[in-house]
Each structure stands twice: as C-alpha cells, then as structure tokens.
A = this chain, B = another copy of it.
C-alpha cells in the first residue's frame, strides 16, 4: 500500500480550498528539472513505474482519514472527497532510461485540478530519487568502459526505500548487480558480494580465513587488504598452491590504498603464479572520476564495487525538480518568480538526430508535429496504466543502453560538454508563452 500521508500539508489545504471554490476543471502539471547539476550533461529519467503504481493505488484508509480529521484543519468536504478518492487522470511520460535535459518534462499529469494537485509530493519524491540515482549511475557505468559495476551502496543510502529504489535505478542505468538482497528479491536484480574485513579479523590468521571461506564458497572473491594488500595477495597465491585444482577463487578485491599501483602489482603477482584467470575487483570510496582515473592509468581492474558516492549521488544529491501547473481550464498558466520561470501548456519534446546521434532537442506544445523523435508517450488513461507502459526491468535497461548510444560522445562523457546539448523552444511554444506573459502583465497592471 502506498503511504497516502507521505505528502505536504499544503497539498491537502489547497485541495480543500479548490473543493470549496469548485475549482475542479482539468489541469495539467509538468514534472521536470529546471537546470542540470554542475558537471552533468544529461539526466536519465527513472521512477515512472512507481509513479504509476502510486496513481493507481492511492487510497486513504479510515485510520488516515480519522487522523486527518483530528487535526481540526480540514473541511468535512475534503475528508469525504479523500474517502472516495481514486485518481482518474491521464499521464504522458518519457520512458524510464531515457536521457533528458533541463526544462524537459519527465512526466505530465492531466486531471481535475484537485486530483492532479494532491499527488505532487509523492510523485516528485519517487521520480526525483530514481532519476537522481540513474543519472549518477550512468556516469559510473560510462567511466567503467564496459567493466561490470556492482552497487555496494545500501548501507549509506538514505533509508530503506532509497536502498531499494536506488538499486533499481542503478540497474536500469547499466549497473550489473547489487549487494542488496531486498532489491534483488523485489526487482530480480543479480546479487553479488564478497566478504568483509570483520570475517578476516575474526580469524587469528588471514590465510586461515581465506582457507575457511573458500571451503564454504569456492568461487568467491577474496578481500586482501585487511592488513597488507600485497601480503594478502601472496596468501591467495599460497592458497592456490595448497588447493591445486580445487582452487576456484574468481577474483581478489582491493578495498583501500593506491588502487592503481596495487592493481598493477597484484596482477603481476597473480600472473607470476600462473593465476592469470583470477580477476581483480576494486572498491573503496570509488566514484566515476576515480574509476576513470584508474582506467586512464591502465590499472588492470576487471570490475568495480561502487558504494556511497553512487548511492547518494554525492556530487549532486538533489535535482532542481519541480511539478508545476502549466494549464488550467484550457488556458496556459505560468509564474514569473525570478529563476523559476515556466513554459505554459502541455508539452512534447522532439529529439532531432543525424546518423542516429542526437544533435538537439526541441521543447514544443503537446500537439505540435516537428522533426525528430517525440519522447513523451501516453502511459495512463483515466487512472489506468496503458499496455506497454511498464516494460520489464531488462527492457528498460536495454532501452537505457540504446538511448545512451544515441547521445554524442561528448554529452555521454564525464566532463561538461561545450556547448551543452541544445534544448530549443519551438516558435509555437515561445508564442504561447509570450501570450500568457502579456495577459498576466495586463492583469497585474490593471490592479
């Protein structure tokens, strides 16, 4: 059950006032990110699945209604309306895994005003989190240049729900596996793990620890940095000699120190012992920059475990995401607050490509037909999701990979693209904006 009360108080007070005033004509709200974070060339839309589930299943329980009533703030009319609430609107959205840019709608809700208003907080909460996470993970995956990346971040993600949803979003963005069992169970993401320092520490001797672990998990990855990384690798070599053909360890894991240098030395030790097939797994405070730096030093690392920095999107832990009224009762709406200017009306985004590679996006009115590929599709009608609105995770993941190959290399890269990917506004949308602004200024001047 979705948490109906996970919302801002003001959503309910506004709905209460809308109901009192009879403001229940059709509204369109647009969910978008105003500006990209510094050093980001694109974002990856994610979280639509959870948004649709919320819209389909949002109900207020008797207990929740009784509590709301007990606050003494709301009208009987609002409580009655909430009691019978179910979302009856339409949703148009960009598929999960699609790269998007500033000002581009990730989704648009078209519904009677009180319904469309009520769902604001939760929709942002969920789409923000997964878009944030997929966008960061896509950078780490890009930096790893085809090597597997494993999500190790659950312990420092922001709570239980982030633990689940960030793992999902990262997988959509190309992360291979997660260490989080709950995410593996819920979403069918491959699960991966090695062992912890505490296991080594609990044994009197590192080699004894390796021996015991391998006895139980022969094809494991051994963590070698508890005391001295290269000594640890030598113990792995000793274990290989001891076990002979029974030695089936897949990899060693380096988790601290100068990973580039240690990886080179580890590779040399393993190769000299005839253990060419034992791979090197690196972890420990990694982010996309560190992964890129390691690979630029030709560090012989075969896979990466990335935790905190990816799990919390450390360089940009929030997006400037908003859910804004753009149309009510058939008229475009906007506001003029400095730095927060809106484009009115429902939109479409056309991505123009040349030889299969995008060279600009055009923000347009929803009913325009322009060159390029339209990114927004209808995914819900009258409160029910449409066929094909919820592809399986594997399909989203493939879609994300395919979409990334359609971005220019510079836009996919870690450094700021110069110039950034252009997002233009269609002449019709510009004209619509001017018209609304003029109307607003006239009304403002009239008072």
Q: A residues touching B (Cβ–Cβ < 8 Å)? A: 3, 5-14, 16-18, 20-21, 23, 27, 29, 64, 67-68, 71, 73, 75, 113, 117, 120-121, 124-126, 128-129, 132, 152, 154-166, 179-182, 184-185, 191-207, 212-213, 215-217, 220, 225-228, 231, 235, 238, 255-257, 308-309, 311-314, 317-319, 321, 324-325, 328, 333-340, 440, 443-444, 447
Contact = CB atoms under 8 A, between A and B. Distances in A.
A89 to B, nearest CB: 15
B226 A337 contact: yes
Given A6-B182, A154-B125, A204-B443, A198 B324 contact: yes
B333 A202 contact: yes
A-B pairs, top 7 by smallest CB distance, nearest first, are A159-B161, A9-B193, A158-B158, A317-B317, A10-B193, A198-B325, A256-B337
Given A155-B120, A156-B318, A314-B318, A6 B202 contact: no
Given A16-B217, A207-B447, 7 more contacts: A117-B196, A121-B155, A125-B154, A129-B158, A159-B162, A197-B335, A311-B318
By CB atoms of chain B within 10 A, which of A165, A312, A447 has the most? A312
Given A165-B159, A193-B13, A154 B313 contact: no
Contacts of A120: 155, 196, 198
A3 B185 CA distance: 12
Contacts of A11: 196
A122 B314 CA distance: 20
Contacts of A165: 159
Nearest to A186: B5
Contacts of A308: 318
Nearest to A217: B13
14 contacts: A7-B154, A8-B155, A10-B194, A13-B217, A16-B216, A17-B216, A117-B196, A132-B158, A156-B318, A156-B321, A159-B165, A205-B443, A226-B336, A227-B337
A321 B443 CA distance: 55
Nearest to A161: B159
Nearest to A336: B227
A366 to B, nearest CB: 18
B156 A124 contact: yes
A75 B158 contact: no
Given A125-B160, A204-B443, A324 B17 contact: no
A205 B257 CA distance: 63
A12 to B, nearest CB: 7
Given A8-B155, A125-B156, A154-B121, A213 B17 contact: yes
Nearest to A202: B328
Nearest to A447: B207
B228 A444 contact: yes
A137 to B, nearest CB: 14
Contact of A319 (B27, B156, B337): B156
Contacts of A23: 202-203
Contact of A216 (B75, B155, B212, B213): B75
A206 B333 CA distance: 13
A141 B235 CA distance: 52
Contact of A14 (B21, B162, B196, B328): B196
